[in-house]
Amino acid sequence: MKIIMLGAPGAGKGTQAKMIADKYAVPHVSTGDIFRANIKEGTELGKEAKTYMDKGLLVPDELTVKILLDRVAKEDCANGYVLDGFPRTIPQAEVLDKALTELGDKIDYAINVDVPDENIVKRMGGRRACLACGATYHIEHIPPKTEGICDRCGKELILRDDDKPETVMNRLQVYHDQTQPLIDFYNAKGVLKEVDGTVDMKDVFNAIVAILG
């Protein structure tokens, strides 16, 4: 069962990817984690990726796919995997699709966690973080006992720049320009499934399980 998670930033796809991985006993494969692991282990692919990252450049799609294929070729991916954070663009999807086809393989499901922009702005705008101990809260869903104060260490909670409405709107614009076309790409391949991401995360998960069986 090879799954790609799609959805806007803040839609909750990362949380769902972890839950799917746990239930079906397959790895949750995040490109960020793979890059860090390869660089830490000093692999040839990691060294090559680092040369781009050190210059502040994006790692080319072909190299990213090579690193990804190296990861999913490992024994723990024999029964499948959940891809989170890749592909982000049509060229990346095409490179991945071509590489998998050459291996006689393919993606089984592309699951889009669908959440309207206004919900995401509200959801992310409600996040609060403690810079002192790293605890996170949400003013509606996981509020601190005392408004603006961390339960764990008593320090002040802040709204991070990443979660401010103007930043979120910019990230959503990039998503709509670059990543949303993937929905059409995977729909054309007959593997796209959509779930309502505005409901409780357990209900989102149950909808995904109903699709995967």
The structural domains of the chain, ordered by start, are 2-119+179-212 (3.40.50.300)
Q: For residue range 189-206, list pLDDT tens digits in order.
A: 999 999 999 999 999 999
CA angle (142, 17, 38) in 5-degree steps: 110
End-to-end Cα, the chain, rounded Å: 11
Q: For residue range 108-165, list pLDDT tens digits in order.
A: 999 999 999 999 999 999 999 999 999 999 998 899 999 999 999 999 999 999 899 9
The pTM score is 0.84
Is-catalytic flag, 152? no
Is-catalytic flag, 128? no
Q: For residue range 19-75, list pLDDT tens digits in order.
A: 999 999 999 998 888 988 999 999 999 999 999 988 888 889 899 999 999 999 999
pLDDT recorded at residue 56: 86
Which among 66, 71, 123, 127 is annotated as catalytic? 127
Q: How confident is residue 213, by pLDDT bands cut at 50, 70 and 90?
A: confident
- CA atoms of 210 and 203, how far apart (whole Å): 11
Which among 50, 122, 171, 193 is annotated as catalytic? 171
Which among 18, 88, 164, 193 is annotated as catalytic? 88
Q: How large is the C-alpha radius of gyration of the chain? A: 18
pLDDT recorded at residue 31: 85
Find out whether 183 and 7 touch, Cβ atoms under 8 Å.
Answer: no
pLDDT recorded at residue 154: 96
Is-catalytic flag, 13? yes
SS3 state at 104: coil
Handedness of CA 121, 142, 199, 84 (dihedral sign): positive
Place of tokens 């090579």: 66
pLDDT recorded at residue 97: 94
Which residues fall within 8 angstroms of residue 154, CB to CB, at 6 or more apart? none
pLDDT recorded at residue 179: 86
- CA atoms of 35 and 49, how far apart (whole Å): 8
Q: Which residues pair with 24 in a beta bridge?
A: none
Is the bond preceding residue 87 a cis peptide, omega within 30 degrees?
yes
Average pLDDT over residues 183-189: 96
pLDDT recorded at residue 2: 96
Which among 36, 98, 152, 160 is annotated as catalytic? 160
Which residues fall within 8 angstroms of residue 120, CB to CB, at 6 or more apart? 8, 9, 10, 11, 168, 172
Which among 2, 13, 66, 128 is annotated as catalytic? 13
Is-catalytic flag, 36? no
